[in-house]
Amino acid sequence: MIILAGIKWIFNGYLDILLIYAVISALFIFILHKIKIRGQEAMGDGDILLAFFMGLFLGFPNIIVAFYVAFIVGAVIGGILMWFKKIGRMSPIPLDRF
Q: Where are the domains of the chain?
A: 2-97
DSSP letter at 41? E
Strand ranges, E, within 1-98? 36-37, 40-41
Q: Tell me: cis bond preceding 92? Omega within 30 of 0 counts.
A: no
Per-residue pLDDT, 78: 81
pLDDT band at 6 (very low <50, low <70, confident <90, very high): confident
**How far is it, in rounded angstroms, from Cα 33 to Cα 9?**
27
Return the ∠ at Cα 59 (arms to 41 and 20), rounded to 5°: 75
pTM beyond 0.85: the answer is no
CB atoms within 10 A of CB 75: 10
Q: What is the spatial distance between Cα 84 and Cα 88, in angstroms, rounded to a whole number?
A: 10
Bridge partner list, 36: 41
Pairwise pLDDT comparison (96 vs 71), residue with the higher score: 71
